[in-house]
Structure 1
């Protein structure tokens, strides 16, 4: 598995209806977002098929970012069974993401 880029058009179809989906809202020019992507790749490798990880470029998909109230980047939203359940604003250590995902896997 890996991190999949999504946009305003295909976002809704990529959220898992069962299980966990982690969505990173960021931008290509955002330094903390660049630091976060390797962490998300590691999480993707660790969780395999149990977790889908998506990334949304806020500049390219402003409607999706607005829909979820993204004001700062990076923002990570965890969806469980298709519904947003956790929102983490700003870059956090990998362990924080692991702890949040443990609740929903």
Structure 2
């Protein structure tokens, strides 16, 4: 599952994420967020550069959304890189593709 373009309403629970196997990237934000839109070229480029087949789930975040709170999300976009349900790295408002590529390589 390569880069995902659209944030979707929360469908995963924290238990689902904790039970996941292999690499996983959760990206928290919204489709209307300017910071999120500005980061998308970097996120997309990183997934293309890394060449990793890492699942990328864009989670629409906001008040009352538990999954984002469980990862301490306060600013958008926040990317959480997981391996076997365990957080390996978190990037908040990435400004370029390099940090994202490095994090992808650590979990792939």
TM-score normalised by structure 1 residue count = 0.76
Give 1:21 deviation, angstroms. 0.8
Q: List per-residue Cα deviations over 1:43-93 (Å, max 9, x = no partner).
A: 444556730001111138711111111011111100111111111111231
Equivalent position of 1:95 in the other structure: 98
Equivalent position of 1:36 in the other structure: 39
What is the SS of the residue equivalent to 1:37? helix
What root-mean-square deviation, in Å, do the aligned CA atoms of Structure 1 and Structure 2 show?
2.7
Give 1:30 deviation, angstroms. 1.3
**Partner Cα distance (2:18, 2:39) in 1:** 20
Please, which runs of 5 or more residues in structure 2 have no aligned partner?
none
Equivalent position of 1:8 in the other structure: 10
In the alignment, is the contact (CA less than 8 A) between 1:17 and 1:81 conserved in 2?
yes
Report how many residues are paired.
Answer: 105
More strand by share: 1
Change over 3 Å in CA distance of 1:52–1:86 after alignment to 2: same
Please, which runs of 5 or more residues in structure 1 have no aligned partner?
none
